[in-house]
A and B are shown apart, each in its own frame.
Chain A
Amino acid sequence: MLNGFMKKFSGKKSSKETAKKRLQFALVYDKLEINEMTLESLQKDIVEVISKYFEIDTKSLQLEVQREHELSALVFNTPILCVKKNKTYNAQNI
């Protein structure tokens, strides 16, 4: 039981957290028949597009899998720091 305490306060990730993350992504890869590289480059592209319009914190960007029955959803979560001024101006001009 002491072990539980140590893990709770040391901030070290428990092995079940690792198992859960690995499983969630493995199931998405299987279902979509894609690999990790595809997902990473997708994430990179999305960051690029969003960065055109918003100042975002790329470090705290999170990629998660949400599932309900037969549907899997990839959820990109990113805090927006601020809107890029020149971009909104351009958008209005168009």
Chain B
Amino acid sequence: MEGKIIVVTSGKGGVGKTTATASIGAALALEGNRVAVIDMDIGLRNLDIVLGLENRIVFNIVDVVNKRCNLSQALIRDRRIENLFLVPASQSDNKDVLTALGVQRLAKQLKSEFNYVIMDSPAGIEKGFENSVVAADEAIVVCTPDVSSIKDADRVIGLLYARSITPRLIVNRIIPEMVVRGDMLSHEDVMDILSIDLLGLVPMDDQVVVSTNTGVPLVMQNQSLAGQAFRRIAKRINGETDLPIQIPTVKTGIWSKITQKLGLTK
């Protein structure tokens, strides 16, 4: 098997990297792929708790890279979603314990065993970021429609280009009501500024908090709009490239319908 390594990154913290990694990983596994999600945020691990697998950690990525255990011992199998595995981060070390060479060696092994390996990069552009992108075949940049997130995304996109990786963009936490009002940058504005290919648009959704509260992957909750958006993103990654990108819209209310008819909103 020759799988793909995809890094999820953003520059800025708190924009939804971990949620995106967990959701895309779970959705790709639901599509029938063998998937490993890797928490690269050494010292601040969170992917395990978002996925509800925190009680099953024995070994972590630092143990594997430093050969204190085999890869198979550190892989946690999700019992709800077939073919979904997690390699947790270490909570006690810092980001300098991993080397680029060590990550590359691990990546090679992961690629031979999985269809997709999704790396959850830490915030920032230092060593942790470097380690996350060193083995990546593809990159997903996550941003929200606010100025600081977009500015950091631009920086990260530049760094990825410098490594000959052409990233694709996910705009997260879109609030359609604010976009209509002209108080939030639309995805078109964001793409004008960043000029990279779009992978998907994810609306703001209360269910994200519920999902992380309970540790049940977002994509398993059918009523979640964000979950649906991530499932479409996973399909697009998985080869359904002509699947149209759905633009989050204001669903209820007579006013929105009227403004839409009048062409005042998109």
Contacts and interface: CB of A to CB of B under 8 A. Distances in A.
B253 interface: yes
Secondary structure type dominating chain B contacts: helix
Interface in A47-94: 67-70
A2 B182 CA distance: 12
A18 B258 CA distance: 26
B259 A4 contact: yes
Give the most central of A8, A16, A20, A30: most B CB within 10 Å: A16
Contact of B193 (A3, A8, A67, A69): A67
Contacts, number: 64
A15 interface: yes
B158 interface: yes
A14 B183 contact: yes
B264 interface: yes
Nearest to B177: A1
B189 interface: yes
A3 B264 CA distance: 12
Given A4-B259, A5-B259, A70-B158, A24 B193 contact: yes
Contacts of A70: 158, 161
Interface residues of A, number: 23
B33 interface: no
B184 A16 contact: yes
A26 interface: yes
A42 interface: no
B180 A1 contact: yes
Instruction: Report the contact-size class of chain B (Cβ under 8 Å from the partner).
Output: 20 to 34
A19 B182 CA distance: 10
A23 B196 CA distance: 16
B151 A26 contact: yes
A7 interface: yes
Contacts of A2: 255
A3 B251 CA distance: 17
A4 B193 contact: no
Contact of A16 (B161, B186, B196, B255): B186
A8 B255 CA distance: 14
B195 A68 contact: yes
Which 3 residue pairs across A and B have the least CB separation, nearest first? A14-B182, A1-B255, A67-B195
Interface of B: 146-147, 150-151, 154-155, 158, 161, 179-186, 189, 192-196, 253, 255-256, 258-259, 264-265
Interface of A: 1-5, 7-8, 14-17, 19-20, 22-24, 26-27, 30, 67-70
Given A16-B182, A30-B151, A70-B158, 14 more contacts: A1-B180, A1-B255, A1-B259, A4-B181, A4-B259, A4-B265, A16-B183, A19-B185, A20-B185, A23-B147, A67-B194, A67-B195, A69-B161, A69-B195
